[in-house]
A and B are shown apart, each in its own frame.
Chain A
Amino acid sequence: MNLLKLLPLAALLGALLPAQNRSEPTQEELTKLRTEKLAKPVFTKAAWLTDYDKARAKAKQENKLLFTYFTRSYAH
């Protein structure tokens, strides 16, 4: 059987702050958190895509499944 290969997609849906009592974070803070999260080994050690449209298009082109990981700045 021709098993489909896998295309990892990390869907970073909003970089949210963990603390409940903090004031609304600025866009700069959120962007920084997202960048820091994407620099973690879990994302740098594999060819993750963070663009949902591009990931689906690539998966279609390469006949792969999407392995999708929904996370945000403070989540593991």
Chain B
Amino acid sequence: MHNTSHVADEPYPTLLQDKGFRAFPSICFMDTEGNVLTRPGRSVKAMAETQAQTSQLVALRAKGDKASATQQRDLFLVELQLDLVKADEIQARADKLTLSEADKKFVAQKLVDAEIGAIMAKAQKEGPEKTGEALAGILAAGKTPSDQISSQFWFAVLNHAAKQKDAKLAQRCYDVLEKRHSGDKQFERALPEWKKLLDEAKAK
């Protein structure tokens, strides 16, 4: 049910929607103009990290054209950490900056994650089989998703591997899922299902 009841004196009854959110509760960091800058995770640690990064972001953006090369690099990196750089702009921006080897690795990882994100964004349209195949292609190309990539990735590839009877790939996916969710009550029922898919992949 869409309940629109609200206290009559509420001056901003649609602020949630105006700021791009859909559900209560939602949290974000805003600038003083009310622009949503970042949306932290729900843990205290995630909020503290996002707060620090958002503060750095605002300070570096304020430098504008006066930013030094180092500050421009730092701005790019913090925007990348906060997923504020569009996927198709990551490489172009990185190429204009002097990055350390560690920075380059970080950029490369973000590009892999962005590639995965683009495939997963089309999952509903493409269907599970095509999506699983495309995601398995990422691993086949020697690319590894970061820990930030959701378990949906590994589940989709596990499904694909089960259908393809690819035991090695299925084992890799299962191992990640088990490591992430073993002992988690929310996944009590999912783990045996994933094991079934692994067994299916191994069955001749």
Instruction: Report A's interface with B, CB cutoff 8 A.
Output: 1-4, 6, 9, 11-17, 20, 24-25, 27, 30-31, 34, 51-53, 56, 59-60, 64-72, 75-76
| Residue contact A70 to B31, C-beta cutoff 8 Å | no
* Cα separation A6 to B95 with both chains bound (whole Å): 34
- What are the 3 tightest A-B residue pairs by CB atom distance, in nearest-first order? A14-B6, A60-B32, A66-B30
| Residue contact A31 to B55, C-beta cutoff 8 Å | no
Residue of B nearest to A50 (CB): B10
| Residue contacts A-B, CB under 8 angstroms, 5 given | A3-B56, A4-B59, A65-B32, A67-B47, A68-B29
Q: Assuming A13-B6, A14-B7, A71-B24, what are 12 further A-B pairs, CB within 8 angstroms? A: A14-B5, A27-B7, A30-B7, A53-B11, A56-B33, A59-B32, A65-B54, A65-B58, A68-B30, A69-B25, A69-B27, A72-B24
Contacts of A27 in B (CB 8 A): 7-8
Interface residue ranges of B34-84 to A (CB < 8 Å): 34, 37, 47, 51-52, 54-56, 58-59
Contacts of B26 in A (CB 8 A): 69-70
How many chain B residues touch A (Cβ–Cβ < 8 Å)? 36
Residue in A4, A9, A59 whose Cβ sees the most chain B Cβ within 10 Å? A4
Q: Among B6, B24, B58, point to the contact of A75 (Cβ < 8 A).
A: B24
| Residue contact B5 to A24, C-beta cutoff 8 Å | yes
- Contacts A66-B34, A70-B26, A75-B25; is A3 near B59 (CB within 8 Å)? yes
Residue of A nearest to B74 (CB): A1
* Cα separation A24 to B183 with both chains bound (whole Å): 43
* Cα separation A75 to B27 with both chains bound (whole Å): 13
Q: Among B12, B32, B52, B54, point to the contact of A13 (Cβ < 8 A).
A: B12
Whole-angstrom distance from the CB of B50 to the nearest CB of chain A? Answer: 10
* Cα separation A30 to B6 with both chains bound (whole Å): 7
* Cα separation A25 to B55 with both chains bound (whole Å): 41
Contacts of B30 in A (CB 8 A): 9, 56, 65-66, 68
| Residue contact B21 to A70, C-beta cutoff 8 Å | yes
* Cα separation A74 to B129 with both chains bound (whole Å): 40
| Residue contact A56 to B32, C-beta cutoff 8 Å | yes
